[in-house]
Amino acid sequence: MSCKFYLYKGKGKNAENGHLWIYTTEIEQYDGEYENGDIVEVYNFRGDFIGKGYINDASKITIRIMTRDINEEIDEEFFRKRLHAAWEYRKKVVETSSCRFLFGEADFVPGLIIDKFEDYFVIQSLALGIDKYKDIVVKLLVEEFGAKGVYERSDAKVRELEGMEQTKGFLTEPFDTMITITENGVKYYVDIENGQKTGFFLDQKENRAAIHKLCKDATVLDCFTHTGSFALNAGVAGAKSVLGVDISEHAVDFCRRNAELNNLQDTVKFECHNAFDVLREWSKEGREFDVVILDPPAFTKSRSTVQSATRGYKEINLRGMKLVKRGGYLITCSCSHFMNPDLFKETIADAARDARVTLRQVEFKTQAPDHPILWNSDESYYLKFYIFQVV
């Protein structure tokens, strides 16, 4: 029999309204025995059933709800249904040769990420309860979704908050982990073993496509270029010249390989710079570009560092605006959940005032629909993407 957990009066409202997390501070008592990773039942203070999911009392997020049906077992059939539902959704909303196959809480499997790169899959387990089911997930990916290979990238620091070690490696027979994919007509090498996160950021797919119309015959600067994805999209779109900059020499070398893969090495160049330093320097020199792209890593991953992150976002946007020719375009992003949309908007507006420019909004977008936003789980909303004309 499952261990039963009861919440304090006044707690658990979010969970009752659809959120999947139960925090330590919400739990008043429990009835029964459990081991971390077990499936337990959750009830409100009146004894009404809320849901059941896996527990880890080493985590502030003590219980993650997997189902609202008290009779549904968390077994192979459960994961089969969840994976097929996720896949059917993606076949409707995105091009699926490479995509996020499953997005944790937003696909009602909290703690599990699955990315698909052609016929190879990368999984990331971020919670102890999911680790217990990895073999089932791999079996289903191979038998029902045609995975030629599955690799694990559970080397995220967040696992340490769960009392777990970081880990990565093959979950099927070994294969070549340098995969080639095509997105928006651009080819990329994807290093699923050593690249960031699961090897490639799929969430900007539609945003990268959105810049094509702006980049034809343009001079383009792409800051924090990482794998060169925005720079290469600009090149494929017919830019006159593209310069991508990144602080990592390894990233720059990888970008150059991607440029060669697309026969763009004569048009799309990459240099190793600290973007904060070089934006300031080039602004003072009076350099200008038709299009400036700012796609930095998350400057904040917690509420405690939002203030310093805001200063960082303001600085790069201020410098970026000064490098845009009047009538040109600024493309700017934030991938931090804690940099909420209103704060990001205010920060850009502050930068525009200090730069003494007027911004005309062309487009606002979020993450691609294979990274769906669950309205009663705001953690699933993190990416903000603006296109402005600088006038």
Query: Catalytic site residues?
Result: 335
Q: How far is CA 98 from CA 182, 338, 371, in A?
A: 8, 27, 13
Q: Which tokens sit at 59?
A: 């985590």
| Strand order through the sheet with 219-223 | 268-272, 241-246, 219-223, 289-294, 324-334, 384-390, 359-365
**Which two three-digit tokens encode residue 72?**
């549904």
- 290-322 as b/e, with b when 16 or more CB fall inside 10 Å? bbbbbbbeebbeeeeeeeebbebbbbbbbbbbb
88 residue type, one letter = E
For residues 276, 282, 286 and 292, what is the CA-based torsion angle, rounded to 10 degrees? -70
Residue that has been written with the tokens 């991938």 in this structure: 335
Pairwise CA distance, residues 71 & 132, whole Å: 20
Going across the sheet that includes 98-103, the strands are 98-103, 112-117, 120-125, 149-154, 167-170
Distances (CA, A) of 290 to 102, 229, 324: 37, 18, 6
The radius of gyration of the chain from alpha carbons, rounded to an integer in Å, stands at: 23
- Report how far residue 104's alpha carbon sits from residue 137's, in angstroms, rounded to the nearest whole number: 13
Helix/strand/coil for 278: helix
- Which residues are CB-neighbours of 311 under 8 A, at least 6 positions away? none
